[in-house]
Amino acid sequence: MKLIIAIIRPEKLADVKRALFQVGVTGMTLSRVSGHGGERDVVQQYRGDTVVLEFHEKVRIEMACSEAFVDRTIQAICDAARTGSVGDGKIFVMPLDHTVRIRTGESDNAALTAVNADEIMRMTQLETPSGRTEDR
C-alpha cells in the first residue's frame, strides 16, 4: 500500500478528479494549501499598496492506494494536471504500513477497497472489438 500526495493547481482539480475516477480511484482527501516552489513571486496592487505574493494557492490531494493502483494513479494525475508551466505541482509517494476502516474494522487492502468496488471495476474496463475486456 502507498500514500500518494499530489499538490496541484486549483484550476486543474476537476480534471484530476475526473481522471482519477476514470482509473478507479474514488477515495481521496482534499485540502486547500499555499506554498512556494519554482514559481516566481507575484507583485500585485492591493488597495493602493504593492503586495508581493510569495506563496501560491494549491490543492493537496491525498489518497491511499493498493500497489495495483499506484502507477495508474500517478499517470492519471500527471496527464490531467500538466500544463507545461512552472508550478504544475508535485506527487509524493510514501509507504503505508497499516490502514483500518473505522466502520467495519477491515484492515489494509480490504479497508482501501471502495464500497462500490465492483461497479468501479466495470467502469474502468473497456470492451475490445474481439469481445475481451482490458483495463483502461
Q: 61-88, pLDDT tens digit by residue?
A: 999 999 989 999 999 999 999 999 988 9
Q: Which three cell numbers stand for residue 7?
A: 499538490
Hey, what CATH topology would domain 2-96 get? Alpha-Beta Plaits (3.30.70)
pLDDT of res. 46: 77
pLDDT of res. 125: 60
| pTM (whole model) above 0.85 | no
pLDDT of res. 136: 41
pLDDT of res. 129: 46
Pairing state of beta strands 2-8 and 42-46?
A: unpaired
- Tell me which residues of the chain have a pLDDT lower than 50: 126-136
pLDDT of res. 130: 46
Q: Which three cell numbers stand for residue 68?
A: 495495483
Q: Which runs of consecutive H residues, i.e. helices, occur in the chain?
A: 13-22, 67-81, 109-112, 117-123
Residue where the block lists cell 484492515: 107
- Max Cα separation, the chain? 67
Residues 132/123, Cβ–Cβ less than 8 Å: no
Burial class (CB in 10 A: 0-12, 13-18, 19+), 61: buried
- Torsions phi, psi for 96 (to 5 deg): -125, 110
Residue ranges per domain, the chain?
2-96
Single out the residue of 56, 3, 6 nearest to residue 30, CA to CA.
6
